Structure 1
Amino acid sequence: MNRFIAVCLLVVASVLSGCATHASPELRPYTAEETKQLALEALSRRGLSFDEYQQQRAALTGQPQKSFGFDHQGEMNAERSVTLHGRPS
């Protein structure tokens, strides 16, 4: 009977000591690359327009903003005949 009580006390003590320790992850500061990646992920979730997204992304990454635009040639009619380098299209 004494062995049973000793084993029970040992199990209870080990369970209580396991519960008493904090299993929190190690707190460390983020690196610059991790911070930049988190900011880019947050930016992609904002639902901004394409131009606003490109402006803010360029500001975060430190790259010059690329200009996106149309080529101002307009739409082409399929019935319109165009000659390219001596070939009919």
Structure 2
Amino acid sequence: MNRIVAVLLLSVTAVLSGCTTSSPELRPYTAEETRELALEALNRRGLSFDEYHAKKAELLGPSQKNSGFDDRGEMSAEQTVQKLPGRAS
């Protein structure tokens, strides 16, 4: 009888000690990680082409705009190339 009580007590102790262990602390997402998660969720939504690009522009904000391209995504041939100082062309 003592063996059964000892095994039962040991089992209960093992189960309770497993329940009390804490999970590792979660760190908050960085701004870049949050933006990437939002873009991944946007890709899964199945929006039309125009809706997708409108939502993507909202997520990326004005800093991600392609400045060297026109509104059709083509680069202007008349755009001047800036030369770096100290470099020969």
Aligned to 2:60: 61
Unaligned runs of 5+ in 2: 74-89
User: Any runs of at least 4 consecutive aligned residues in structure 1 with deviations exceeding 6 A, and if so which?
Assistant: none
Once the two structures are aligned, what percentage of the paired residues are identical?
Answer: 67
More strand by share: 1
Q: How does 1:1-89 map to 2 (within 5 A)?
A: 2=2, 4=3, 5-19=5-19, 21=20, 24=23, 26-62=25-61, 63-64=64-65, 67-68=71-72
1:10 match: secondary structure: helix
Unaligned runs of 5+ in 1: 70-89
So what's the TM-score if we normalise by structure 2? Answer: 0.52
Bigger radius of gyration: 1
Q: CA deviation at 1:18?
A: 1.6
The one-character-per-residue Cα deviations of 1:26-52 (angstroms, maximum 9, x if unpaired) are 232111111001110122223222122
CA RMSD of aligned residues (A): 2.8
Q: Which amino acid aligns with 1:39?
A: A
Q: Which amino acid aligns with 2:52?
A: Y
So what's the TM-score if we normalise by structure 1? Answer: 0.52
